[in-house]
Amino acid sequence: MRKASFITTLLIPITAIISKAQTANEPEMADTMRSNGKIYVVVLVLATIFAGIIAYLIRIDRKISKLEKNK
Amino acid sequence: MRRSWWKVLCVICLGYTVIGGILMPVPRLNIINESIRNLYYHVPMWFTMILLFTGSFIYSIKYLRGGNLRDDVYASQLTNTGIFFSILGMLSGMEWANYTWGAPWSNDPKQLGTAMSMLIYFAYIILRGGLKDDEKRAKISAVYNIFAYALMIPLLWVLPRMVDSLHPGNGGNPGFNQYDLDSNMRMVFYPAVIGWFLIGLWIATLKIRWGLLKFEKENNFQFEFEKNHNNNA
């Protein structure tokens, strides 16, 4: 009887550790980057590059429109 | 700026794609992990390429039916822009593959089919560069373009599905829409496709307008004659 209860008291924390390990086994994502807000730096850089490309396209568009008017 | 409402839509959709594509939640999956977000950027490259090549195909047929050299300008510039997007798609795919499949080139049937298709379209540029006579260049390249398009469809959409492939939706691999493309991803993916479509069309229209200006400058006399001819008729 005493032996059995000893085993169960040993088993409970072990199963707890195993189940915790299983949740930790979930696919790894960039959660740290998200929690400390560094992901917004990435978004800022991408948005800057994107804005630059769009500004460049608009400039070319305006230039071609001007040429079309002058022909 | 000409006809600019869809250009505004393009900027809105792509701005949302850049920001939402990084910040919106995605399913947690093994192997691809966070790189699943590449779906918003890599896949629309190919969709845009197909759209531009389809436009080019239509204008090539139009040229062969009508013989108007301006349709040839449309066809060639649409193809050029499509090739630009295919290069971006191939490079982004190789970068993605390097981290998920372990190598940038793993002889995946879809990769091979795409590479073949790209070579066929590269030959289109070489063919055009080699012919000096306008009419001849337009006619031969229009016929070539129709064959290139007819080859691209089985190379990209049919053959990779008949053999084992690492791409989703091929050789028993599930497509993204079946399991992985959940409603959160759809909320970014569909605007992303619209945005990339529109930016592809925008670049293509710029190149077409530039090509038409060049064409009209070179054929100024012919153009005037045609105009008078049309007015008389």
Domains in chain A: boundaries: 2-26+33-70
Residues of A in contact with B202 (CB under 8 A): 57, 61
Is residue B119 pLDDT above 90, yes or no? yes
pLDDT band for position A22 (cuts 50, 70, 90): very low
Closest partner residue to B30 (CB to CB) among A27, A60, A67 is A27
Q: What's residue B4's pLDDT?
A: 84
Residue B192 in contact with residue B40, Cβ under 8 Å?
A: yes
In a domain, B26, yes or no: no
So what's the ipTM on this one? 0.77
With beta carbons less than 8 A apart as the criterion, state whether B148 and B121 touch.
yes
Q: Has residue B167 been placed in a domain?
A: yes
Closest chain B residue to A44, measured at CA: B19
Contact criterion met (CB below 8 Å) for B26 and B177 = no
**Residue B66 covered by a domain:** yes
Q: What is the DSSP letter of A52?
A: H
Q: What is the pLDDT of residue A20?
A: 47
* Coil, helix or strand at residue B154: helix
Position with higher pLDDT, A1 vs B100: B100
> Residue B202 belongs to what domain range?
9-18+37-217
CB contact set of B228 (below 8 Å; sequence gap of 6+): none
Q: How far apart are CA B35 and CA B84, in angstroms?
A: 23
Looking at chain B, the number of H-run helices and the number of E-run strands are 8, 0
Q: B188 with B21: CB under 8 angstroms? A: yes
User: B7, B202 in Cβ contact below 8 A?
Assistant: yes
Tokens of A14: 């072990």
Residue B129 has pLDDT above 80, yes or no: yes
Q: Given a cut of 60, is residue B107 above it in pLDDT? A: yes
The pTM assigned to this predicted structure is 0.82
Question: What's the structural domain count of chain B?
Answer: 1
| Within-domain flag for B98 | yes
| pLDDT above 80 (res B193) | yes
Please give the average per-residue pLDDT across B195-204, as a whole number.
96
Give me the pLDDT at residue A70, please. Answer: 84
B162's tokens: 């008949």
End-to-end CA distance of chain A: 102
Q: State the DSSP H helix or E strand holding residue B103, giving kind and residue range, or none if neither.
A: none
Contacts of B97 (CB under 8 A, 6+ apart): B103, B104, B105, B106, B108, B111, B166
Tokens standing for B64? 């062969």
Number of CB atoms found within 10 A of residue B119's CB:
9
Q: Which residues in chain A have Cβ-Cβ distances shorter than 8 Å to B15? A: 47, 50
Cβ distance of B15 and A27 shorter than 8 Å = no
Q: Which residues of A touch B217 (CB under 8 A)?
A: 71
Least CA distance to A60: which residue of chain B?
A: B206
At A12 the pLDDT is 55
Question: What mean pLDDT is predicted for residues B154-158?
Answer: 88
CA distance B94 to B67: 40
CA separation for the pair B179, B174 (Å, rounded): 8
Residue B223, domain member (yes or no): no
Does B115 fall in a domain?
yes
**Mean pLDDT confidence for B13-35:** 87
C-alpha dihedral (B224, B228, B229, B232), degrees to nearest 10: 180
